[in-house]
Chains A and B, each alone.
Chain A
C-alpha cells in the first residue's frame, strides 16, 4: 500500500488536526501565526492610540475591563500598567508567535522535505508534537491578559529586577505565565530544529548535494542550528527568572546577592542569534523568489551560502551591543562594537548579490516578486540604521529611543514580514492548490509598502530628537511636546496600515476556494516542490526524484524554456533511460 492511499484511510482528525504530514503541519502553523499576527497588530494599534492621543478616551475602550481602561464619563482611558502590558505583549507575540513560527514553522515544514526530495520529516510525530506545544503556549500567553494583575509588563526583554518580583509592577501571575508560555514554546522550537537538521542531513534525494539545495532550505538549515543552540540558553534563563518569581531564589535580585546584568547577558546571548533566526529564513525565501522573478540564477550562490554561515557564526559574538549603556565594562563595549560592525559585511554581501541577481534579468513583477523587492529595499534601510547604534558613542544618544524602534521594525516588518508575504503568496499554491489573486495582491503590496514607510520612517526622526521608547505619555516631557503632531500622524497611518491588511486576509481566505487552479508549477520555477501536484499528495513524490543540477538554472542556454527543473535529465542523457527514475522492479 503506498503512502497516498494510506493517508485517505486515516480518520479526519488524524489527517487535519493531529496530523503527521509536514504540509498539514505547515498549514496549521500558518493559520496559528496569522491569527497571532492579527492580535499583535491590534495591540500595536492600541499602543499607538495612547501615543498619538495620550490619555484621551480610546474608541471601543469601554469594551475592555476596568483593570485595563479607566472608565470616565467621556469614555475609557488607558491605564499605564495596561500600556506596559501592551508594549510587552506586542513584542512578545509578534516575535515568538507570529514572525518566528511563520518563518520557521511554516516554511521549514512546508519547504524542507519538498525542496530536498523527501517524503516527509525525519520525525513526523515529533513534528506534530512541535505544533501541539506551540499552539497551547500561544493560548497561554493570550490568557495572561485575563489574570489578576494583567499580562506581563516588563517589556518583551523582561529585564530583571522589574520582571523578577511582582512588587515592582503589581504583575505576578501574568509574568509567570509569560515565562511558562515561552518555555513551552522553546520546547516546540527545539523539536522542530532537531527535525529540520536531521531531515536535511539524512534525507536528501539522490543528486541533491549540499550546493544544489535552494537557499531557502540552506537558510532554514542554518536557522535550525541557531535555534538548537540558542533556545536552551533562553529556557535556562526563563526558568531561573521563574524561580526568582515563585520560590524565592535571587539569581537576578541584588537583595539576594543576585546580578541583574546576568539576565541581560543570558537574554541577549540567546536574543541576538534570535534576531538572525528571524531574518535568515526571510533572506532564503527572498533569494528563491528574486531568482524566479528575474528569471536568472542567484548571483554568487556560494557567496550567499557563505554569508548565511558567517552571519550565523558572528551572531554569537555580538550580543553585548544591546548592553552598551547597561553598566557593562566599557572595554567590552569596544569589543562588541567591532564584532557588530563586522556582522554588517555578510549582510551587505547579500544585498549586493540580490542586486546582482536582478541585473540583466527579465523581471516578472508578480506579487511575490514585488514583496521580495520590498524586502531588499527595506532591509537596506534596516541594515544601514544598525550601523548607527553599532557605534558606541552614537548609541549613547539613540539607545532606548524611537530610532531603535524604527530600526527593529525595518528589519522585522520591512524585512521579515515582506519576505513572509512573498513566501506565502509564492508557495500558497503548494498548500492550497490555487493561486492568490494577483490584482488584489499587488494593491495590498503597494498600500502596505507606502503606509509602512509612513509609519516607521518618521520614527527615526523622533528618535533623533530624543523620544524615548516605552513611555506611556510623551507629552509629560516638555521637550517631546513639539513632536506630538508626528506621533499623531504615525498613529493615523498605523490604523490605515492595519486596515489594509484586511485585503490580504480576504485574498487569502477567498482564494482557498475561488483562486485560479495552480497546476504543478505556476511560477515556472526549478526546485523539486514544483515537480509534484499542488498540493502534493501524502508522501510527496511518487518516485524518488533524481537531481541533476542546482535550483537556479533560469534562462540556461541549453534549453528552450527559461527554466529547467532540477530533476529533468540533461539532454545528452535522455537517450540513456537507465538514469531515469524507475519504480522498484518486480
Chain B
C-alpha cells in the first residue's frame, strides 16, 4: 500500500497551482499551452476518480453480452472483432445500450463539456 496524499490529490494540487498562481503571469501562445496542460491534469484527475467504477460496470455488461470473461481490454477487443465479423449488430439486444453507456463514461472523462455529451446527459437526467 502506497502512502498518501493520493494521486488524485497530488494531481489536483498541481492543477490548482498552475490555474491560480501561474495563469495570471503569462500570455500569448504560452498561455494557450498552459491551458492545455491544466486540461490534461483535470482529465487525469477525472480518470483516476472514475475509471475503476466505469470499467467494472463495462466488464459486467461485456460479460453478459459476449458470454466470456476477461480484462476490459480483452473483452473490448473481442467485441470489436465480433462487430467486424457481423456476429453482433444494432439488432443484438443490449449492444446499443452498452455502447451508449460506455461512450458516455468516456466522454465524462475526456470531454465533459462537449455539446453532444451535454445534450445526451440531459436526456439521462
Do the two shown chains form a genuine complex with each other? no
- Give A residues with C-beta under 8 Å from B: none
